[in-house]
Copies of this chain bind each other. A is one copy, B any other.
Amino acid sequence: MTDLTIRRATADDLPAIVAMLADDPLGATRESPDDPAPYRAAYERIAADPHQHLVVAERSGRVVGTLQLTLVPGLSRRGATRAVIEAVRIHADERGAGLGTDLIEWAVATSRRLGADLVQLTSDATRTDAHRFYERLGFTASHLGFKLAL
């Protein structure tokens, strides 16, 4: 498909991003799209941190995808900088049409351009379609991801 732009998200994109976060089997129980305040506060934290790259994919003036890329410097692996992908979402109208591939390929190319040595992400164990998708794009499921809610 044509006419795709991947660009830095602005505060005006928040309603579209939050709608995509909520339109998801896991997100449906975690998000509150009718209460924008916590998302606005989080957006300000993201915008203030130069190591965060929150982007949207826009097609024909409409936001149809999003992800967040974080650059994390570190000592291990000979001082490797990691690029961490979080919060990948594709609008329901675009699923299965290749936009996920476009977004992840953008993230990998941007990570390389920014000097990262490694790209990493975690995916909920229940998202088996996503696991096959990341493996097709060259990722290896070498780790377990642990979480603790505070």
Binding site for B on A (CB under 8 A): 14, 17-18, 21, 27, 30-32, 35, 38-39, 41-43, 45-46, 49, 51-52, 54, 68, 70, 72-82, 84, 86-87, 108, 111-112, 116-125, 131, 134-135, 137-150
Contact = CB atoms under 8 A, between A and B. Distances in A.
A128 to B, nearest CB: 10
A54 to B, nearest CB: 7
Contacts of A39: 75, 78-79
Contact of A150 (B45, B118, B137): B118
B21 A118 contact: no
A57 to B, nearest CB: 15
Nearest to A41: B79
Given A42-B81, A75-B68, A78-B38, A145 B116 contact: no
Given A122-B120, A145-B122, A76 B150 contact: no
A86 B72 contact: yes
Given A118-B149, A143-B125, A75 B54 contact: yes
A42 B138 contact: no
A71 B87 CA distance: 16
B112 A150 contact: yes
